[in-house]
Amino acid sequence: MNVLVAMSGGVDSSVAAALLVEAGHDVTGATMKLWGGASDSGCCSVADVDDARRVAQQLGIDHFTFGFGDDFEADVVAPYVAAHAAGRTPNPCIECNRHLKFDRFLRRADALGFDAIATGHHARVERSGGAWHLRRGTDRAKDQSYVLHMLGQRALALTLLPVGELSKAEVRARAAAAGLRTADKVDSQDVCFITATGGRAGFLGPRLDLAPGRVVDGAGNVVGSVPAVQLVTIGQRRGLGLPGGSDARFVTGVDVTAGTVTVGRAEDLLVDEVVVGDVTWVDGPVTGDVEVQVSAHGEAHPARFEVTGQHAGCVRLETPIRRVAPGQSVVLYRGDDVLGGGTAA
Amino acid sequence: MVTYLDHAATTPLRPEAREAVVAQLDAAGGNSTGSHALARASRRVVEEARDEVADAIGCAPGEVVFTSGGTEADNLAVSGVLAATGGTVVCSAIEHHAVLHPVEAQRGHLAPVTGSGLVDLDALAQLLDGLDDVRLVSVMLVNNEVGSIQPLAEVAAVVARHAPAAVLHTDAVQAAPWLDLRVVAAPAQLVSISAHKVGGPQGVGALVVREGTPLRAQLLGGGQERERRSGTHDVAGVAGLAAALSAAVAERHEAVARVGRLRDRLADGLLATVPGSVETGARATKVAGSCHLLFDGIESEGLLILLDQVGICATAASSCASGALEPSHVLAAMGVPRAAAKGSLRLSLGATTTEAEVDHALAAIPDAVARLREREPLVERSGGARS
């Protein structure tokens, strides 16, 4: 097959490319240049593109750089800023997967005549029963199926995830054995456009009016303050200016318009249902018994799912969990199979 | 077969230049600043090259300062003059980054250009009138992206009237293969050239610094180049530069006519066969090797890869450090909307371009553009990501 590998300059996509070459595919590498501003973590610094290019040279494959900065700005950065402005807690990496890696990149690959794309994600794409399945990566600790939940049949049919069967240790060992310069490179963890020094406030400050907020308890008494109400997340318990000794120290509500943050006790956060919007499915809607995962490396909770609208539904949990911050992804599984997912309302 | 239409990026080594470079690499060359026999032999090669370069550009040999290329020559001109004179600098908005970035570092000022990619002389005069203490004006002879030939004599007249204390620098890197620098570069006190744009080796160039021009060296050391640029001579490189430049000068008349015909066939053919295509700027004010087009509704990044797949080497705007195409500051300065600028294609022809290469491009480009319009149509974005 003629495969275009998305190479971030990290070890996983380096090994993904190497495995495809080994398997005899006709492989080309490409790095998306998404962000031109400050970045000190993860994707698309010039040094990362250099790493990807050098790995491609070592593997004897062509490498291109795709400048998708305008798409990234429109589909990832602008919605990220808008979500914070509304007091939500967005997950830009998921939107990047949805709009950039598995849409924009896929369209470019198709235009250039490739049969498939590949990435270095730790998850598996398998075909059985006449359908494509998205499954957890073999290395459960590194499983990235959560961030790929938006993949449907069309994208899965065109996507290869070569490292999904490997543990992270195996990936590094293969990179080292092949002499790839990314073998010992640390994993990217954070949002690529948020710097360690500036933080979210440094990024959002110039892009929206960060406003200080009052912290109130359930009875409406002012008990603390925050410098920027748009940066507060449901469940947060630090940086609220609360006096010591109080057990009501978890954020249970954020109201950007009123400029208030409500705090309560840990048990006030517990919910037994999560309303989900923007739902997408791997292979059509599923209802009934599922497991639900609400963070990238969180555990899966037994639940029932009910479809309430075309792209909406409600998760009813067997055992209450901490409330999911609006904007976070809610992903439905059965065993290792991703069924689909959406965004917490 | 590779169809090479990226001569403005770099053009193949001429046989004369190769011979000169190899001869010098093989010679038991000494350091040209020494006094023994081998050193003197190297120095002689450098000075012969200097005579040859001076003859091609139309200056005295002592006015030629060898550099590591066009970028260093441009940097030396901008930073070297300002270091000697103080004051401020003005350049055109469509200069190569090798001028633009040093000018920005000096907090200099940009002169606007017209929609044809020519310096707007009235706007330049106005800009100069509004500034105090302009000591350098830098306007390229030929733009590297769209091929427009700047009216340097008129620019010099404007500078003489509106900023009499300023010296004029011209980046003649793209002009050297096509124009007689003895004539067109004459109004400038400083002239940058690069070997590899005329068929010499990469990594060598020169800055002409006419006698009496204020300049402070930027590379300090052994005092070579009359203390204007220190560093051991790249003897093979300057020999290659001189040989290439002489060969280019000798065949220029014939090359301009021949390549101009090929370019016309290529540009006219594409404009006729690709719907939604326009030529950037006016052909009458472009050098013979330049064909620059805008295609509606596509991003040329995909187009360049499709062309690469069939063996056609071309480019669009300049690439940023990552290798991604960055929005063209040249097209932006010419008033081309950002979305339209994304569909730009630069096909640059050179002395070695053949009829078969033009045929190949004429056959492949319409299909590639059509494929992209169908599979990867341009999505207009309001965002302006930095690159």
Mind giving me the DSSP string for A65-96?
EEE-HHHHIIIIIHHHHHHHHTT----HHHHH
Give residue-wise pLDDT tens across range B46-102. 999 999 999 999 999 999 999 999 999 999 999 999 999 999 999 999 999 999 999
For residue B97, the model assigns a pLDDT of 96
**A73/B385 CB distance under 8 A:** yes
User: Within an 8 Å CB–CB cutoff, is residue A193 touching chain B?
Assistant: no
Closest-CA residue in chain B for A113?
Answer: B306
Give residue-wise pLDDT tens across range B107-153. 999 999 999 999 999 999 999 999 999 999 999 999 999 999 999 99
**A33/B375 CB distance under 8 A:** no
* pLDDT more than 90, % of chain B: 94
**A66/B301 CB distance under 8 A:** yes
* Contact list, A8 vs chain B (CB under 8 Å): none
Contacts 24+ apart (CB under 8 A), A47-54: A47/A9, A48/A8, A48/A9, A48/A10, A49/A9, A49/B322, A49/B323, A49/B324, A50/A9, A51/A9, A51/A10, A51/A14, A51/A181, A51/A182, A51/A185, A52/A7, A52/A8, A52/A9, A52/A13, A52/A14, A53/A29, A53/B323, A54/A181
Nearest to A67 among B306, B326, B376 (CB): B326
**In this structure, are residues A119 and A5 in contact, taking their beta carbons and an 8 Å threshold?**
yes
Which residue among A43, A44, A93, A96 is the active-site one? Answer: A96
| Range B174-185 average pLDDT | 98
Give residue-wise pLDDT tens across range A51-67. 999 999 999 999 999 99
For residue B383, the model assigns a pLDDT of 47
**In this structure, are residues B249 and B52 in contact, taking their beta carbons and an 8 Å threshold?**
no
**B385/A69 CB distance under 8 A:** yes
**A36/B385 CB distance under 8 A:** yes
Residue holding tokens 């110039």?
A206
**B324/A67 CB distance under 8 A:** yes
For residue A174, the model assigns a pLDDT of 96
Q: How far is B137 from chain A (nearest CA, A)?
A: 31
Q: Which helix (H) or strand (E) holds A153?
A: helix A153-157
- Sorted by sequence, the CB contacts under 8 Å of residue B341 that are 6+ apart come out as B294, B317, B327, B328, B331, B332
Res. A36: pLDDT tops 80: no
Q: How far is B181 from chain A (nearest CA, A)?
A: 37
Confidence of residue A328 (pLDDT cuts 50, 70, 90): very high
* pLDDT more than 70, % of chain B: 97
**Can you read off the two tokens belonging to residue B315?**
């480019």
**A74/B381 CB distance under 8 A:** yes
* pLDDT more than 90, % of chain A: 83
Indicate which residues of B carry an active-site annotation.
320
Closest-CA residue in chain B for A49?
Answer: B322
Nearest to B383 among A31, A64, A78 (CB): A78
Confidence of residue B16 (pLDDT cuts 50, 70, 90): very high
Res. B325: pLDDT tops 90: no
Angle in degrees, CA A331, A335, A338, rounded to 5: 35
Residues 37-66 on A with a CB inside 8 Å of B are: 37, 44, 46, 49, 53, 64-66
**A69/B386 CB distance under 8 A:** yes
Res. B384: pLDDT tops 60: no
Nearest to B306 among A35, A53, A112 (CB): A112
Q: How far is A141 from chain B (nearest CA, A)?
A: 32
Helix, strand, coil: what percent of chain A each, to 5? Answer: 30, 30, 40
User: Within an 8 Å CB–CB cutoff, is residue A292 touching chain B?
Assistant: no
* Contact list, B387 vs chain A (CB under 8 Å): 33, 36, 67, 69
Confidence of residue A218 (pLDDT cuts 50, 70, 90): confident
The mean pLDDT of chain A is 93
Confidence of residue A47 (pLDDT cuts 50, 70, 90): confident
Give residue-wise pLDDT tens across range A145-160. 999 999 999 999 999 9
Q: How far is A124 from chain B (nearest CA, A)?
A: 27
User: Within an 8 Å CB–CB cutoff, is residue A270 touching chain B?
Assistant: no
Res. A38: pLDDT tops 60: no
For residue B11, the model assigns a pLDDT of 97
Res. B386: pLDDT tops 50: no
For residue B385, the model assigns a pLDDT of 41
Helices B235-273 & B15-26, crossing angle to 10 degrees? 160
Give residue-wise pLDDT tens across range A236-247. 988 888 877 777
Beta bridge partners of B76: none
B interface residues, A as partner, C-beta within 8 Å: 301-302, 305-306, 309, 319-326, 371-372, 375-376, 379, 381-387
Give residue-wise pLDDT tens across range B247-271. 999 999 999 999 999 999 999 999 9
Q: How far is A168 from chain B (nearest CA, A)?
A: 27
Phi and psi for B233 in degrees, rounded to 5? -60, 140
Q: Judge whether A314 counts as a catalytic residue.
A: no
**B381/A44 CB distance under 8 A:** no
What DSSP line would sit under B141-206, residue for residue? Answer: SB-TTT-BBP-HHHHHHHHHHH-TT-EEEEE-TTTTTTS-HHHHTTT-SEEEEEGGGTTS-TT-EE
Q: How far apart are CA A42 and CA B69, in angstroms?
A: 35
Task: Tell me what ipTM this predicted complex has.
Answer: 0.89
Confidence of residue B381 (pLDDT cuts 50, 70, 90): confident
The mean pLDDT of chain B is 95
Beta bridge partners of A301: A292
- Confidence (pTM): 0.92
* Contact list, A113 vs chain B (CB under 8 Å): 306, 309
* Contact list, A69 vs chain B (CB under 8 Å): 324, 385-387
Res. B157: pLDDT tops 80: yes
Confidence of residue B323 (pLDDT cuts 50, 70, 90): confident
At A188 the three-state DSSP class reads coil
Residue holding tokens 């932006």?
B332
Helices (H), chain B: 15-26, 37-57, 70-85, 97-105, 121-129, 152-162, 181-184, 224-227, 235-273, 300-309, 329-333, 338-341, 355-375
CA-closest candidate to residue B148, choices B192, B117, B178: B117
User: Within an 8 Å CB–CB cutoff, is residue A320 touching chain B?
Assistant: no
For residue A45, the model assigns a pLDDT of 77
Confidence of residue B1 (pLDDT cuts 50, 70, 90): confident
